[in-house]
Amino acid sequence: MEHYAGIDVSLELSSVCVVDTQGKIVKEAKVASEPEALVAFFKALSIAVKRIGLEAGPLSQWLHAGLRQAGFETVLLETRHVKAALSAMMVKTDRKDALGLAQLIRLGWFRSVHAKSIGSQEVRALLVARKQLLGRLIDVELSIRGILRGFGLKVGQVTRKAFEARIRELVTGQPTLERIAGAMLSARASLKVEYEKLHRLYWRLFAKTRSAGG
């Protein structure tokens, strides 16, 4: 008899449900949301699981990769389709969601999504981190402009390279503003350095990818 499993992924503990070909629950458990823990759980079962399903999500990508590497047939389910399929449940709990996922896998009523490679996930993480640092850098610059504007000091149009010199020029001779601007510029400098590191890393990866592509 074939068996199917659904995993409702949560940050710390994931709900796992295993059903047979008739849809009868064979095993339910809470398992740590770690690839090793899930692999150990399925290997310890006295039955073989034909297919495992997880709803697509950031943590699911990692768990999916671990289960696949361990030899389990695992699929990522398209989120909107899962929500539509499970919306009829009157009471939603992690346990019921795991059961619903297992039933979808058993019946074949699912749409799978492409699982990104580790390399693709790393590039995406790099892009997100770079964007976040740039956003914080711009926030600090706008904050400095806003603070000085309150004292009638207008920064005006200035390049990012000349920004610090312009700010120090404006606050010269005003001790309190010099200290405030100094602290803000120090934070800005740190953000700028780290942003540029990620920016250079991105272009190195980009060049490497283009070179590998021919």
pLDDT band, very low/low/confident/very high, at 93 (cuts 50, 70, 90): confident
User: When comparing pLDDT for 130 and 212, which is higher?
Assistant: 130
| Burial (0-12, 13-18, 19+ Cβ within 10 Å), 183 | exposed
Nearest CA to 7 among 108, 101, 111? 101
Region for 167 from its dihedrals, namely left if φ exceeds 0, alpha if ψ lies in -120 to 50, beta otherwise: alpha
Mean pLDDT for 28-56 is 95
Please say if the pLDDT value at position 67 is more than 90.
Answer: yes
Contact 116, 124 (CB under 8 A): yes
CA dist 164 and 162 (Å) reads: 6
Please say if the pLDDT value at position 181 is more than 70.
Answer: yes
Backbone angles phi, psi at 152, to 5 degrees: 75, 15
CA dist 156 and 2 (Å) reads: 70
- What residues have CB less than 8 Å from 2, skipping those under 6 apart? 20, 21, 50
CA dist 74 and 86 (Å) reads: 20
- The DSSP 8-state label assigned to residue 114 in this structure reads P
**Which of 18-32, 82-96, 126-140, 173-187 has the lowest average pLDDT?**
82-96
Instruction: Catalogue the E-assigned strands of the chain.
Output: 3-8, 13-20, 25-32, 51-55, 74-77
pLDDT in tens, 136-156: 999 999 999 999 999 999 999
CA dist 101 and 185 (Å) reads: 52
